[in-house]
Chain A
Amino acid sequence: MKAVGARLPRYDGLNHVTGKSVYVDDVRVPNMLWAKALRSPHHSARIVSVDTSRAEAMPGVHAVVTHQDVPHNVYGHLEALGVPADEPLLAEHEVRYKGQPIAAVAAESEDAALAAVETIDVVYEEREPFLDIRKALDPGQPQVTPEGNVFRYYGDQVPRQIRKGDVDRAFDEADVIVQGVYRPAAMEQAPMETQVALVVPESTGRLVVYTVTQAMYFSLGVLAAHLKLPMNAFKLVGGTVGGGFGGKVDTAADTISALLAIKSKRPVKWRWTREEEMLCSSTRAAWHMEIADAVTNDGWLLGRRTMTLHDAGGYTRFSSYGATKHTFHLTGAYTIPNLAFNSYVVWTNRVPSTAMRGFGVTSVSFAVEMHMNRIAQTLGMDPWELRLKNANRVGDTAPTRVVYSDPSTVTTLLEAASTAGVELAGDYRTMTSARREGALLPEHLVAQQGDTGRSNGGSR
């Protein structure tokens, strides 16, 4: 335990300050080719035809790939967990977002690759895009996928749902109902290092993949699946990442670079421009969150109803997982006994969304905390006191019915108040996370309490 609390030098600190850390774009190998991709200029279109013959004939071009070259084109990042595969590595019949890759070229220079990409002739039949998640359940909207615009959990269940307690009764018994709508926009992670990949074929056929991924084993699985190769056909070299923040969880450049390396039998490097990073790489999702709370005049939260919409973009990727996490966190750090949550994953003709600094949770935390302030304002109550009163305590149960054995809400709030120089009233200043009793255990919170399996449920 010597390391706990000690100020240790970073293992990569000296390399960082001397410029010796090797990022993917710093790796140079002989005979390297450069990749560029043809991307959709439309949010939504049917692809009538793709003609790469002029690109293939250009000097300096060593490989051109389309969907026809991909051994297993349509894959899903969560296919192994039963989420249906829906995303092609290279678009075939249609494009569902602006910037979706359709073809890629490996050539002697980036300029040569770009010139070749510009000669690829694609005939599109443009379609009206669907861009507003708020219209997801309206009839007559453009359809993003053959299944419609809303993801179905387990094949038939439309929203991710949570039901707990008796929410109708809570709303009947409420003194006040407080409603709010919260709509954080999509956000690009914008790491300083853009997506880069270098794939070097070895004489044995093994591919050495220099990757910026944040998730080596995800990338390995995605590579092996699309290319229909065993995992030991790859050696991934990674770990030095010039910022990711979730934007390097989805496999972006590795697989297409590997495909080009296989076809050209040469090392291939693909580095995305800043413009590609901002426009074509996955973002944090946009959300539309409607919250209605049943509240008493003295500041107890009796019940909560929510309807939230998650903008998945054109393909599912990890969205169903992100929305599940989001739903589990819809009470925030507070105990509300009666719940009805409906969370929808909505496909739109936007770039697919993914993780960013608290996948699915940061956005809901924003909404929940804004809503707590709104409740405090409505009741004329101190927002610290509202939070401390309803804070999770030992024995309280989460929306998932998990019993909290060591919640930190009270400790965190008291520390935050102290840091912010907020003077709390005596009753609140001395609060702990201990199991509810007395004034902190009103009748409506009795039934939701669970057994932590401890004789003394903690004393913090």
Chain B
Amino acid sequence: MNLIVNGEERAVASPPLTALLHVLRDELGVTGPKAGCQQGGCGTCTVLVDGEPRRSCLLPLAAVDGAQITTVEGLGDLDDLSTVQAAFHARYAAQCGFCTSGMMLAAHALIEHNGGVGAELSREQVQAALGGHVCRCTGYVKIVDAVIAASRGDVEPSVGIAPIPGEPQVETPGAPA
């Protein structure tokens, strides 16, 4: 069987009922998707299958043969963050980071489905789309804020920190070396 992972065609040898999560992590070494509950309950393993957010722990390989799989590694890289990644970074939406890739992929799909950056999503839309994702650091407010910011393109990609309205402006020194 084959998968197109982040644009690259990969032949896979795992048995057909292996969960996509394990094919990605164990066979292909793509470790961005995380194993949180492996019961479909937490959303940490979310990847995009042909552009749709899916729980990779519940998807047997046979069901996704030939599909386009996008993981966090396919969203953007250090020097070329996607809008969602830049917004999550700029607005401190990642705490321990374990749920972050799943959250960002769901957010990316939500924005794409609403016409891409410039979509100006409402808080309710974001909450509905991310409702199945658990963050135990309980950082939901910052996550929702980051997705709304990303939907508006309200982000400085990869440099600086966007000011939060209402907070005193402080000169921001560069990132620690």
- Whether both chains belong to one complex is answered with yes
Query: Told that A14-B78, A16-B89, A245-B136 touch, could you supply 10 new A-B pairs with CB distance under 8 A?
Result: A2-B173, A16-B94, A17-B72, A189-B136, A191-B96, A191-B98, A192-B98, A241-B96, A242-B34, A271-B35
**Beta-carbon contact of B94 and A10 below 8 Å:** yes
A residues within 8 A CB of B134? 192
Question: From residue 75 to 91 of chain B, which have CB atoms closer than 8 A to chain A?
Answer: 75-78, 81, 85-86, 88-89
The listed residue (A2, A10, A18, A190) touching B92 by CB distance below 8 A is A10
CA distance A30 to B161 in the complex (A): 40
Question: How many chain A residues have a CB neighbour from B under 8 Å?
Answer: 38
With beta carbons under 8 angstroms apart, the residue of B36, B92, B104 that contacts A192 is B36
Distance of A318 Cα from B44 Cα, bound (Å): 31
**Min CB–CB distance A419 → chain B (angstroms):** 13
Point out the residues of chain A lying under 8 angstroms from B175, CB to CB.
8-9, 11
A391 to B77, CA, bound (A): 52
How many angstroms between the C-alpha atoms of A17 and B41 in the bound complex?
A: 22
Contact in complex: A193, B100 (CB < 8 Å): no
Interface check A263, CB cutoff 8 A: no
Q: Is B99 an interface residue, CB under 8 A from the partner?
A: yes
Q: Are A192 and B85 in contact (CB under 8 A)?
A: no
Nearest chain-B residue to A244 (Cβ)?
A: B96
A6 to B174, CA, bound (A): 10
CB within 8 Å for A7 and B85 given contacts A19-B32, A23-B98, A192-B34:
no
- Shortest beta-carbon distance from B72 to chain A in Å: 4
**Quick check: B135 and A17 within 8 Å, CB to CB?**
no
Can you show 24 pairs from A to B with CB atoms below 8 A apart?
A: A2-B173, A5-B170, A6-B171, A7-B164, A8-B172, A8-B175, A8-B176, A11-B175, A12-B97, A13-B89, A17-B72, A17-B81, A17-B86, A17-B100, A18-B78, A25-B34, A28-B29, A189-B136, A192-B42, A192-B134, A192-B136, A193-B36, A242-B97, A243-B137
B7-40 vs A, Cβ < 8 Å mask (1 yes, 0 no): 0000000000000000001000101101111110
Alpha-carbon distance between A419 and B134 when the two chains are bound, in angstroms: 28
Q: Please indicate the chain B residues that have their CB under 8 angstroms from the CB of A7 in the complex.
A: 161, 163-164, 170, 172
Across the interface, name the chain A residue whose C-beta is closest to B26.
A28
Cβ contacts A414-454/B at 8 Å (1 or 0 each): 00000000000000000000000000000000000000000
What residues of B have a CB within 8 angstroms of the CB of A8 in the complex?
Answer: 161, 172-173, 175-176
Whether a CB of chain A sits under 8 angstroms from the CB of B50 is no
Chain A residues near B171: list those with CB within 8 A: 2, 6
* Residues from chain A with Cβ under 8 Å of B99 in the complex: 192
Q: Are B98 and A19 closer than 8 Å at their CB atoms?
A: no
The interface centre, meaning the residue of B104, B135, B136 with most chain A CB atoms within 10 A of its CB, is: B136
Q: Is the CB of A19 within 8 A of B71?
A: yes
Q: Check A18 against B96 for contact (C-beta < 8 Å).
A: no
What is the interface size of chain B, counting residues whose CB is below 8 A from a CB of the partner?
49
Whether A3 sits at the interface, judged by CB under 8 Å, is yes
Determine the main DSSP class of B at the interface with A. loop
A162 to B175 CA separation, bound complex (whole angstroms): 48
Contact, CB under 8 Å: B34 / A193: yes
Q: How far is the CA of A240 from the CA of B100 in the complex (A)?
A: 14
Is A18 within 8 A of B173, CB to CB? Answer: no
Contacts of B71 on A, CB cut-off 8 Å? 19
Kindly state whether residue A138 has any CB partner on chain B within 8 Å: no
Q: Does A377 sit within 8 A of B, measured CB to CB?
A: no
Return chain A residues, CB-CB under 8 Å to B137: 243
Query: Of B88, B92, B94, B136, which contacts A191 at CB under 8 A?
Result: B136
State whether B89 touches A17 (Cβ < 8 A): yes
- Asked if residues A13 and B94 are in contact (CB atoms below 8 Å), the reply is yes
Q: Which A-B residue pairs are the 6 nearest by beta carbons?
A: A19-B32, A242-B98, A16-B97, A19-B72, A16-B94, A26-B31
B94 near A243: Cβ-Cβ < 8 Å: no
A16-B100 in contact given A7-B172, A8-B173, A8-B176 (Cβ < 8 Å): yes
Contact for B168 among A3, A5, A16, A271, CB less than 8 A: A5
Cα–Cα, bound, A10→B77 (Å): 17
Most buried by B among A14, A22, A273: A14
Contacts of B46 in A (CB 8 A): none
Q: Which residues of B contact A163 (CB under 8 A)?
A: none
Known contacts A21-B97, A193-B36, A243-B137: does B173 contact A6 (CB below 8 Å)?
yes
Minimum Cβ distance to chain B for residue A77 (Å): 23
Contact with B along A23-34 (1 / 0, CB 8 A): 101101000000
Cβ distance A110 to chain B, nearest Cβ, rounded Å: 10
Q: Mark B152-165, 1 if CB is under 8 A from A, else 0.
A: 00000010010110
